[in-house]
Each structure stands twice: as C-alpha cells, then as structure tokens.
Homo-oligomer: A and B are copies of this chain.
Amino acid sequence: MSGDITTSRDADQTRQNILEVALKEFSEYGLTGARVDRIAKGTRTTKGMIYYHFGDKDGLYKAVLEEIYPKLRKSEEKLDKSNLSPIEELEKIIDFTFEYHKNNENFVRMVMIENINNGETLRKTDVDTGVSQNILMELSSILIRGQKEKVFNRNISPIDLHLLYTSFCFYRVSNHHTVSTVLGMNMLSSSNSIRHKRLVKDVIIAYLLSSEP
C-alpha cells in the first residue's frame, strides 16, 4: 500500500526537519548548551517526536554528527578534476576546502564541539576512516604524479599534506572570534579571505616545489 510509503516519507521528512534544526542548535550552543525544547520549537513537530526518532539528546547529536562528514566528502567528490596538472588539481582541492569551511561554519563548529566532547560520539558512529579514503587517495596520486614529473621535490604523506591545508582553512573559521579580537582585525573580511585563499596554496606549492635540504 502507498500508505506505508507515504507514512515513511513523512517520517523521513520529519527526521530531516529535526536534523536541520538540531544542527543549527548544536552548532550554535554546543552539546551541553543545546536545548531539546528549543530544537522542538524550531521544528514542524514536537518534542515527543525527537525522542521517538532519536531516543535521546545524545542520539540526536550523534545523528547530526553522522551527517556532516559524508556531506563534506560528497561535495568534494563532485569536483571535476580531469585534465589537470598535479599543481592545478591540488589547488582545486585546496580552493574547495577553503570555500567549504568558509561557507559552512556549522560544520566547523560541530567538529570543534565534538573535539570538546573528546570525539566520544564520533567514535561510536559509522563514520570511519572510509569517508576519507577517497581524498587521501587523490592526494596520494597527485603527489606521485608530481614527483614523477619532477615538479614536486618533497616527500610528504597524503595525510600530512591534508593536515597542512585543512588546519589553516579550519582555523581561520573556527578561531575567528578570538583571533579577530586578539590581533585586532576581522579575520573573515573579504580582503583577508581572498589573500588567505591565495596564501595557503602558495605556501604548500612552494614547499612541494622546494628541494629537501
């Protein structure tokens, strides 16, 4: 019967609606600061439904967390990287990473919050090393091509390369409040963003091009 289908479609919509509101709430207030009541009010449904679908507050938090990494990776994989040189491909990836963090502060904040939470929930999650295999393999391939072509002269692991640019892209967004205050600037101003986007690529490329000492 279509009854069940319709019902489950509704249920899915309800779940999605709750998840969206919960992402906003958790990323704004943190795990302990988030309020189930506030989430419920923000949705089209009621508190009871949250408990029905997600068990408890931690279950909801877990569900929110489970969604954000695959979402990032899926966007990443949509990039068209055909016919690019290693440098061009790497720049494209860094550009994407830069923009994604800049445009998804919610994602950045959720990751911070989960680290404050000592990563306990993420570890209980289906999100495993699998989600990052693609990007690591791609970085690996870029590095190999660059080394083969004698463009890259450094020996660096894909993971370290990934950390190098991600840390900068992440930090700019995650720490913009304190950095802006302490350094007396607006870290996310348009001019800073433009310059930083160029900078992170230049630094990494300069490193890869440079010779081992």
Contacts and interface: CB of A to CB of B under 8 A. Distances in A.
Interface of A: 29-33, 69, 109, 111-119, 122-123, 127-129, 131-132, 136, 156, 159-160, 162-164, 166-168, 170-172, 174-185, 195-196, 199, 202-204, 206-207, 209-210, 213
Contacts of A195: 160
Copies in the complex: 4
Contacts of A170: 167, 171, 175
B159 A183 contact: yes
Contacts of A112: 112, 115-116, 174-175
A166 B160 contact: no
A68 B174 CA distance: 18
Give the dominant DSSP class at A's interface: helix
Q: Which of A116, A123, A168 counts the most chain B CB atoms within 10 A?
A: A116
Contacts of A182: 69, 122, 127-129, 131-132
